[in-house]
C-alpha cells in the first residue's frame, strides 16, 4: 500500500508540473493571438486602401471585360483575365510545429480531399507550402513542391514572405500555372477557425461598380496602365500576405485552445488522483488501526 501511495504522489507531482507548463504555453499563445489580431486589423486598413486604388484604375477595363470580353488592340493586364486552366497553383499554409490541436490535420485532410476531387493527376497542379508541417506532409506522399517556406515568425512581416508571394505572382504571369488558390484556416474567433480556399489569381473579385462608391478621386502620373502594371502584382501579393496573417492568427488561437484543454485535462487528472490517494491513505490508516486493535486484544 505504501508503494501505491508513493506512486500516486509521484503521478500527482508530475501532472502538476505538466499543467504548469501547458498553462504557461496557453498564456504565451494568448499574448501572441492578441498581437496577431491587432496586426491583422492594421493590415486590413492598408489592404482596403490598395483595393480602392486598384478598383479605380481597373474600373473601365473590368467593364469592358465583363460586358464583351477582352477587346482586340487593348492592353489588359494578364492578372485580370481568366485563361484556359492547364495547371492550378496552390499555396497551403500550415504551422511549423505541433501543439496546436487539430489545426494542421484539418487543413491537410481537406486539402487532400480537394485534390482528389478536382484533379485526375499530380501533373494538373503545383504546390507551394508555407510551414514545415505541410511541406513534410506533401513530401512524404511524393507530391512535388515548387517552393516551401519554413520557420515563419509569429508575427510575419511582409519582407519575410516577400520572396514566396512575389514568386507566386511571377509564376502566374509566366504561365507556370493558370490560376492560384490559397488554402488555410481562417480565424473567426479564439475558439473557431474555418478552412478556406481563396482564389487569388486571376483577380476576379473586383467590381467596377464598386469604384462609384468611393468618394476619393485620383490624379495619375504616369499613365493608369503603367501604374496598374506595378500595382496589380502588389495587390495580389497583399492578398496572399493577408491570408498568411489570417492563418497565423488562427494558429495562435488553436495553440491557445489546445493548451487550455491540456491544462484542464491535467487538473481533472490531478483531482481524480487526489481522490485515489486519499482513499488509499484512508485504507492504509484503517488497516493500521485494525492491526493495533488486534494486537492489543491479543495481549489481554
| CATH code for position 151 | 3.40.1380.10
Pairing of strands 145-149, 179-189: unpaired
Full-model pTM:
0.84
* H helix or E strand, kind and range, residue 183: strand 179-189
Indicate whether 223 belongs to any domain.
yes
Identify whether 222 is preceded by a cis peptide bond (ω within 30 of 0): yes
Tell me how many domains the chain contains: 1
Where residue 101 falls (left for φ over 0; alpha for ψ -120 to 50; beta otherwise) is left
Domain assignment present for residue 7? The answer is no
Q: Poorest-confidence range of 17-31, 45-59, 171-185, 204-218?
A: 204-218
% residues pLDDT > 70 (the chain) = 88
Note whether residue 281 is domain-resident: no
Residue 5 near residue 277, CB atoms below 8 Å? yes
Distance in angstroms (rounded) separating the CA atoms of residues 278 and 12:
12
Rounded CA Rg of the chain: 29
Determine the structural domain holding residue 147 and report its residue range.
26-258
Say if 275 falls within a structural domain: no
Could you tell me what percent of the chain has a pLDDT over 90? 45
Query: What mean pLDDT is predicted for residues 106-122?
Result: 93
- Within a domain: residue 97? yes
139: in domain: yes
Cis previous bond, 189, omega within 30: no
Longest CA–CA separation in the chain, Å:
120
DSSP helix/strand/coil, 114: helix
Residue 167 in domain: yes
The reply to whether 179 falls in a domain is: yes
Amino acid at each position: 500500500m505504501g508503494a501505491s501511495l508513493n506512486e500516486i504522489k509521484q503521478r500527482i507531482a508530475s501532472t502538476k508540473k505538466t499543467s504548469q507548463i501547458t498553462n504557461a504555453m496557453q498564456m504565451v499563445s494568448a499574448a501572441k493571438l492578441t498581437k496577431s489580431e491587432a496586426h491583422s486589423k492594421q493590415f486590413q486598413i492598408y489592404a482596403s486602401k490598395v483595393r480602392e486604388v486598384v478598383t479605380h484604375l481597373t474600373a473601365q477595363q473590368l467593364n469592358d471585360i465583363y460586358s464583351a470580353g477582352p477587346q482586340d488592340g487593348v492592353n489588359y493586364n494578364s492578372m485580370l483575365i481568366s485563361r484556359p486552366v492547364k495547371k492550378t497553383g496552390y499555396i497551403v499554409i500550415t504551422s511549423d510545429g505541433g501543439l496546436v490541436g487539430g489545426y494542421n490535420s484539418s487543413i491537410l485532410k481537406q486539402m487532400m480531399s480537394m485534390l482528389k476531387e478536382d484533379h485526375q493527376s499530380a501533373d494538373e497542379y503545383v504546390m507551394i507550402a508555407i510551414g514545415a508541417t505541410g511541406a513534410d506532409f506533401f513530401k512524404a506522399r511524393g507530391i512535388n513542391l515548387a517552393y516551401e517556406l519554413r520557420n515563419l515568425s509569429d508575427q510575419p512581416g511582409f519582407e519575410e514572405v516577400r520572396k514566396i508571394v512575389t514568386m507566386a505572382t511571377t509564376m502566374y504571369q509566366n504561365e507556370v500555372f493558370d490560376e492560384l488558390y490559397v488554402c488555410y484556416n481562417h480565424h473567426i474567433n479564439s475558439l473557431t477557425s474555418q478552412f478556406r480556399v481563396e482564389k487569388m489569381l486571376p483577380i476576379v473579385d473586383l467590381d467596377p461598380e464598386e469604384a462609384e462608391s468611393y468618394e476619393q478621386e485620383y490624379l495619375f502620373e504616369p499613365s493608369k496602365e503603367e501604374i496598374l502594371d506595378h500595382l496589380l502584382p502588389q495587390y495580389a501579393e497583399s492578398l496572399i500576405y493577408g491570408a498568411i496573417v489570417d492563418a497565423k492568427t488562427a494558429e495562435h488561437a488553436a495553440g491557445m485552445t489546445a493548451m487550455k484543454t491540456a491544462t484542464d485535462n491535467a487538473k481533472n487528472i490531478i483531482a481524480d488522483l487526489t481522490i485515489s490517494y486519499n482513499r488509499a491513505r484512508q485504507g492504509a490508516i484503517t488497516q493500521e488501526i485494525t492491526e493495533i486493535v488486534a494486537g492489543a486484544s491479543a495481549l489481554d
